[in-house]
Chains A and B, each alone.
Chain A
Amino acid sequence: MASAAQGSLPRYVVQRLLLMIPMIWVVVTVVFLLLRVAPGDPVSASVGGRLSEEELDRRREALGIDRPLWQQYLEYLGDVARFRFGESLSDNRPITSIIIDNGGATLTLTLGAFLVALVIGIPLGLVAGRRRDSAADVGIRLFGITSYAVPVFVTGLVLVLLAGGTGWPTYDIASPITKFQVEPVTHILLVDALIAGDMGAVGDVLQHHVLPCLTLGLLLCGVFIRLVRVNLLMTMKGDYVEAARARGIPERYVVRRHAFRNALVPLITVLGLQVALTLAGAILTERTFNWPGLGTQLVDYLNARDYPAVQGLVTFFAVIVVVTSLIVDIVNALVDPRVRY
Chain B
Amino acid sequence: MSVPTTASSGPVVRAEDVRVWYGTERGPVRAVDGVTFDLRPGEILGLVGESGCGKSTLGRGLLGLLPDGAKMDGALEFRGENLLTLSKRELAERRGVDLGMIFQEPLTRLNPLMRISEHFRETLRTHEPGLSKAEMDRRALDVLRRMGIPPTRYRSYPHEFSGGMRQRLMIALALVLRPAFVVADEPTTALDVLVEAQIIRILHDLRREFETSLLLITHNLGIVAEACDRVAVMYAGEIVEIGDARQVFSDPQHPYTRELLRSTISLSTTGLHYIPGAPPDLVEPPPACKFHPRCPDAMQVCATRWPAPVQLPAGSRAQCWAAEERNRLIRLTEDERRPLERRELSVADEA
Contact = CB atoms under 8 A, between A and B. Distances in A.
Interface of A: 1-3, 238-240, 242-251, 253, 257-258, 261-262, 265, 335-338
Contact of A248 (B97, B103, B111, B170): B97
B284 to A, nearest CB: 28
Interface residues of B, number: 32
B178 to A, nearest CB: 13
B173 interface: yes
B349 interface: no
A8 B174 CA distance: 36
B170 A243 contact: yes
Contacts of A337: 112-113, 157, 159
B160 A247 contact: no
Contact of A246 (B65, B93, B157): B65
Given A243-B103, A247-B95, A338 B111 contact: no
B233 interface: no
A341 to B, nearest CB: 15
A258 B109 CA distance: 11
A240 B111 contact: yes
Contacts of A258: 111, 114
B291 to A, nearest CB: 31
A1 B159 contact: yes
Contact of A240 (B63, B96, B109, B126): B109
Given A242-B65, A337-B159, A249 B123 contact: yes
Interface in B84-128: 88-89, 92-97, 100-101, 103, 105, 108-114, 122-123, 126-127
B112 A262 contact: yes
Interface string B158-177: 01100000000010011001
Contacts of B103: 239, 242-243, 246
B109 A248 contact: no
B112 A248 contact: no
B113 A261 contact: yes
Contacts of B65: 242, 245-246
Contacts of A243: 101, 103, 109-110, 170
Interface in B36-80: 63, 65
A337 B112 CA distance: 8
B94 A248 contact: yes
11 contacts: A242-B65, A243-B170, A246-B63, A246-B65, A246-B103, A247-B122, A248-B127, A253-B122, A261-B111, A336-B112, A338-B112
B113 A262 contact: yes
Contacts, number: 86
A92 B340 CA distance: 100
Contacts of A3: 160
A336 B111 contact: no
A262 B101 CA distance: 22
Contacts of B173: 247
B159 A338 contact: yes
Given A240-B109, A338-B112, A246 B122 contact: no
A246 B111 contact: no
Nearest to B100: A246
Contacts of A2: 160
Contacts of B111: 240, 244, 257-258, 261-262
A243 B160 CA distance: 19
B174 A247 contact: yes
Contacts of A242: 65, 103, 109
Contact of A239 (B108, B123, B174, B177): B108
Contacts of B159: 1, 337-338
Interface string B265-308: 00000000000000000000000000000000000000000000
Contacts of B112: 240, 262, 336-338
Contacts of A245: 65, 92, 95
Contacts of B170: 243
Contacts of B97: 248
A2 B161 CA distance: 10
Contacts of B110: 240, 243
A249 B113 contact: no
Contact of A247 (B113, B126, B157): B126
A243 B60 CA distance: 11
Nearest to A340: B159
B22 to A, nearest CB: 16
A246 B126 contact: no
B113 A253 contact: no
B105 A248 contact: no
B113 A336 contact: yes
A189 B95 CA distance: 57
Given A246-B101, A337-B157, A265 B113 contact: yes
B126 A248 contact: yes
A238 B109 CA distance: 8
